[in-house]
Amino acid sequence: MVALKSFAPTHLVEDAQESGFFQCPTCGMVWFGRNDIRRCPEGHGHPVHVAVLCRTCDIALTVDQIAAHLNSKDHLNSIM
């Protein structure tokens, strides 16, 4: 299987590859899911990996980290 490309600044490419998030370059939709799906939910092809950042804390998050991060004391303190 061909590896998906990433859409991220150079310093975040590794984070994008590990994030679990994908974006359709055609319609811009972002989703999470399986690596083997080759079309976006709208039927366009060739999704790319994307890095997802917490804009408050300025850190890259994976799908698995989002809920814990949003409920973390550090994040909650940064938005108050």
Q: Where are the domains of the chain?
A: 6-78
49 C-beta neighbours (distance < 10 Å), count: 22
pLDDT > 60? residue 57 = yes
Residue-wise pLDDT tens digits, 23-56: 999 999 999 988 888 899 999 988 999 999 999 9
3-state secondary structure 16-71: HHHHCEEECCCCCCEEECCCCCCECCCCCECCEEECEEECCCCEEECHHHHHHHHC
CA distances from 35 to 2, 32, 68, 76 (A): 10, 9, 23, 31
Question: What is the reported pTM?
Answer: 0.82
